[in-house]
């Protein structure tokens, strides 16, 4: 508060000095208008006004710099701390086998990681194909739970051809030196002449769209595994990041920019993940206020935290296309998205070496600019099903919307005044799994008053 008062006084002082300078110039202009000051005197007054204004602004800038350099920019011991060990590159030198044994044999490591991630991605050589989702159940689920759709003008905009201008804008806005795809060309290469490359890529992509499939090298992705937590020997404790060719990422980014302009109309306000203009900070403040609201009124409120298991890697493609169709996306935009997921291949990067080819049949690639938005689209019907479910929720009216829960991408928080010991969510979630072949996990239930956790159940 002291700094705020000091800032207010300084601002008032500068404002007053600037007003005095402007007043002197106005007096000179009035004198010149009435003939008591000649042209030379007016020019001198203007020159003095300009000099005094620049001096005042420079003094203000110097004062701000001195203040921040002495009060907010002083280097601390935290600034000079050593990097934490997890920032160093650590090779994968062990693997926990399905039998529970730990092996350091490089062959076991490669085969084990290929088997695990091939199963996650739905590679038929590593994974017994699951039964496809029931088309009738899928159609009924989407018809009931897709309530927000594109209007005619939005559909026409989304369905228009991808233009060189969009591709050029995507190239210009990419980070120039991020990790490239298997071809080794970074975004900086295309940024040498973005407009020319955009024209070439537009012609290439139109031809690929006509044939319905990308070139082999455009369909391949090198997957690097980032360690998350737990035991390094377990393949499931890593996050797969797909390094795709930059030219494919350019198309994906152009489609993502177009989708972001309409995504807010398709996604419920309680979903903040990857929707332009929304922030997870809103959820944090809302939950904190809800906790205070319950405490002040001595009312019980419970929250169930739900999370997907390997969320991005298990998105069912046929369900995603059906969801987009029900949301009134036109056929051409869906074809553009399908082009990115037609016969893709992937290779794991294990200790600097590429694994054998994997053939994904599901999932959206982490590292693709479009993936997060596609996932949010795919999970929106489930969010609507949970919002429509009865028997739970605290219906607080916030900006005209009744909140029974909050969602940030694949993390959901459901509120209730009763414990979640019934099948309040089981039916909706299991029906969603039946329609999408997706897995969901219920982690825990937390009462806001005592903040005590119960063990969750896997659904």
Residues 138 and 66 in one domain: no
Instruction: Evaluate whether residue 453 is within a structural domain.
Output: no
Q: Find all residues with CB under 8 Å of 38, minimum gap 6, and list them.
A: 32
Mean pLDDT check: name the lowest of 330-339, 357-366, 435-444: 435-444
Examine residue 81 and state whether it is found in any structural domain, yes or no.
Answer: no
User: How far is 131 from 434, CA to CA, in rounded Å?
Assistant: 10
Query: In 106-186, where does DSSP find H-type helix?
Result: 106-121, 135-145, 152-158, 164-172
CA distances from 28 to 35, 319, 364 (A): 11, 74, 69
Q: Collect all residues with Cβ–Cβ distance below 8 Å to 76 and sequence separation of at least 6.
A: none
| 112 lies in the same domain as 41 | no
Q: Are residues 12 and 99 in the same domain?
A: no
Q: Which residues of 8-47 are buried (b: 16+ CB within 10 A; e: fewer)?
A: eeeeeeeeebeeebeeebeebeeebeeeebeeeebeebee
* Within-domain flag for 459: no
Give one DSSP letter per residue of 56-80, joined into a string: HHHHHHHHHHHHHHHHT----TTTT
What is the span of the domain harbouring residue 256? 95-447
Read off the pLDDT band of 174 (50, 70, 90): very high
Are 67 and 108 members of one domain? Answer: no
Question: Is 312 domain-assigned?
Answer: yes
3-state helix, strand, coil in the chain (%, to 5): 50, 15, 35
Per-residue pLDDT for 20 more than 50? yes
Q: How many domains would you assign to the chain?
A: 2
Burial class (CB in 10 A: 0-12, 13-18, 19+), 378: buried
Does 172 have pLDDT greater than 60? yes
Claim to verify: residue 156 and residue 31 sit in the same structural domain: no
The last residue of a domain, from among 71, 87, 122: 71
Identify whether residues 137 and 56 lie together within a single domain: no
- Residues 257, 200, single domain; the answer is yes
Matching residue, tokens 């007096």 = 27
Instruction: Determine, yes or no, domain membership for 76.
Output: no
Indicate the angle between helix axes 2-33 and 39-71, nearest 10 degrees. 170
Claim to verify: residue 219 and residue 287 sit in the same structural domain: yes
Please indicate whether residue 158 or residue 451 has the higher confidence score (pLDDT).
158
Contact 369, 266 (CB under 8 A): no
Residue 88 falls inside a structural domain: no
Across residues 149-158, what is the average pLDDT?
A: 95
Assess whether 26 and 163 both reside in one domain. Answer: no
**Residue where one domain finishes, among candidates 56, 71, 86:** 71
Domain presence at residue 431? yes
The residue-averaged pLDDT of 238-257 equals 96
324 and 334 Cβ atoms separated by less than 8 Å: yes
Check whether residue 337 and residue 198 sit in a common domain. yes
Q: Give the integer Cα–Cα distance in Å for 189 and 1.
A: 50
The predicted structure's pLDDT at residue 444: 44
Full-model pTM: 0.74
- In this structure, the answer to whether residues 207 and 141 fall within a common structural domain is yes
Is 192 within the bounds of a domain? Answer: yes
* Shared-domain flag, residues 282 and 384: yes
pLDDT recorded at residue 390? 67
pLDDT (tens digit, 9 = 90+) per residue, 311-342?
888 888 988 999 999 999 999 999 999 999 99
Note the pLDDT tens digit of each residue in 381-392: 888 887 777 666
């Amino acid at each position: 508060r002291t700094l705020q008062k000091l800032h207010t006084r300084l601002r008032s002082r500068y404002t007053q000095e600037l007003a005095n300078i402007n007043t002197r110039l106005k007096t000179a202009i009035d004198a010149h208008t009435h003939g008591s000051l000649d042209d030379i005197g007016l020019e001198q007054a203007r020159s003095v006004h300009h000099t005094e204004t620049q001096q005042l602004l420079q003094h203000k800038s110097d004062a701000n710099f001195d203040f921040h350099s002495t009060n907010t920019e002083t280097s601390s011991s935290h600034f000079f701390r050593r990097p934490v060990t997890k920032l160093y590159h650590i090779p994968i030198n062990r693997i926990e086998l399905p039998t529970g044994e730990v092996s350091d044999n490089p062959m076991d490591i490669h085969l084990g990681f290929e088997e695990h991630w091939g199963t996650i991605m739905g590679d038929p050589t590593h994974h017994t194909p699951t039964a496809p989702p029931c088309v009738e159940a899928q159609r009924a689920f989407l018809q009931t739970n897709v309530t927000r759709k594109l209007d005619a003008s939005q559909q026409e905009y989304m369905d228009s051809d991808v233009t060189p201008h969009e591709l050029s804008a995507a190239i210009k806005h990419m980070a120039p030196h991020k990790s490239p795809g298997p071809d080794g060309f970074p975004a900086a290469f295309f940024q040498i002449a973005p407009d020319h490359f955009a024209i070439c890529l537009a012609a290439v992509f139109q031809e690929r769209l006509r044939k319905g499939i990308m070139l082999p090298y455009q369909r391949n992705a090198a997957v690097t595994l980032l360690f998350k937590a737990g035991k390094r020997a377990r393949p499931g404790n890593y996050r797969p990041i797909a390094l795709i060719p930059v030219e494919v990422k350019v198309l994906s980014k152009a489609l993502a920019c177009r989708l972001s302009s309409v995504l807010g109309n398709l996604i419920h306000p309680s979903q903040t993940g990857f929707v332009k203009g929304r922030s997870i900070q809103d959820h944090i403040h809302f939950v904190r206020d809800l906790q205070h609201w319950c405490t002040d009124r001595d009312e019980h409120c419970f929250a169930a935290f739900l999370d997907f298991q390997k969320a991005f890697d298990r998105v069912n493609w046929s369900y995603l296309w059906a969801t987009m169709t029900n949301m009134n996306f036109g056929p051409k935009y869906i074809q553009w998205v399908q082009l990115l997921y037609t016969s893709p291949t992937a290779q794991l990067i294990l200790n600097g070496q590429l694994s054998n080819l994997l053939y994904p049949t599901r999932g959206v690639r982490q590292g693709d600019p479009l993936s997060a938005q596609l996932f949010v689209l795919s999970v929106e019907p489930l969010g609507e099903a949970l919002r429509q479910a009865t028997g739970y929720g605290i219906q607080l009216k916030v900006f005209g919307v009744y909140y029974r829960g909050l969602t940030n991408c694949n993390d959901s928080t459901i509120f209730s005044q009763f414990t979640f010991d019934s099948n309040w969510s089981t039916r909706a979630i299991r029906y969603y799994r039946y329609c999408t072949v997706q897995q969901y996990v219920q982690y825990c239930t937390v009462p806001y008053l005592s903040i005590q956790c119960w063990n969750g159940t896997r659904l």
